[in-house]
Amino acid sequence: MNGFQHLPSQQDQRFWVYTGNKNSTGFQTWSKPPGINFVHIITIGAGGGGSSAVIWQTGVARTGGGGGGSGGMTSAFLPAYLIPDTIYINIGIGGAGGASTNTITANAGAAGTATYAGYYPAQTAGYILCVAAGGNGGTAGGIGGAAGAVLTTTSLPISQIGLRTYIAGQAGTSGGNAGAGATTATYRITGGGGGSGNNAANTVGSGSSVSMAGEYFSAILPSPAGSDGVKVEDLIKFLSSGGPGASSSTTISGSNGGWGGFGSGGGGGSVGPGLGGAGGNGGDGLVIITCG
pLDDT bucket at 103, cuts 50 / 70 / 90 = very high
Quote the pLDDT of residue 31: 92
pLDDT at 22 over 60: no
> What is the residue-averaged pLDDT of the chain?
81
Is residue 128 very low, low, confident or very high in pLDDT (cuts 50, 70, 90)? confident
Confidence label for 238 from pLDDT (cuts 50, 70 and 90): low
Per mean pLDDT, which range of 72-81, 125-134, 215-224 is the poorest?
215-224
Q: Can you give the pLDDT at residue 156?
A: 56
79-83, 93-97, 212-216, 263-267: range with lowest mean pLDDT: 212-216
Give the pLDDT confidence score for residue 153 in this predicted structure. Answer: 61
pLDDT for residue 155 is more than 70: no
Q: What pLDDT is attached to residue 25?
A: 56
> Mean pLDDT across the stretch 251-258?
90
Q: What is the pLDDT of residue 21?
A: 60
Residue 276 DSSP one-character state? B
Which residue, 280, 281, 274, 220, is CA-closest to 249?
A: 274
145 pLDDT higher than 90: no
Distance CA 207, CA 257 (A): 9
Q: What residue ranges in the chain does DSSP mark as E strands?
A: 15-19, 28-31, 38-44, 73-79, 86-90, 115-118, 128-132, 163-167, 183-184, 210-211, 286-291
Q: How confident is the model at residue 179 (pLDDT cuts 50, 70, 90)?
A: confident
- The single-letter code of the amino acid at 167 is I
Q: In DSSP terms, which residues pair with 206 in a beta bridge? A: none
| 210-211 and 183-184 strand pairing | parallel
**pLDDT the model gives residue 154:** 56
- Taking a C-beta distance cutoff of 8 angstroms, is the pair 247, 207 a contact? yes
| Residue 7 buriedness (CB in 10 A; 0-12 / 13-18 / 19+) | exposed
Percent of the chain with pLDDT over 90: 37
CA distances (Å), 118 to each of 49, 76, 91, 169, 186, in order?
26, 12, 12, 21, 28
pLDDT tops 70 at residue 232: no
Strand partners, 151: none
Q: Are 271 and 64 in contact (CB under 8 A)?
A: yes
In this predicted structure, the answer to whether residue 2 has a pLDDT above a threshold of 80 is: no
b or e along 76-99 (b: 16 or more beta carbons within 10 Å of the residue's beta carbon)? bebeeeebeeebbbbbbbbbbbbb
Asked if residue 281 has pLDDT above 90, the reply is yes
What Å distances lie between residue 2 and 11, 17, 34, CA to CA? Answer: 9, 20, 15
Gap between the Cα atoms of 43 and 31, Å rounded: 17
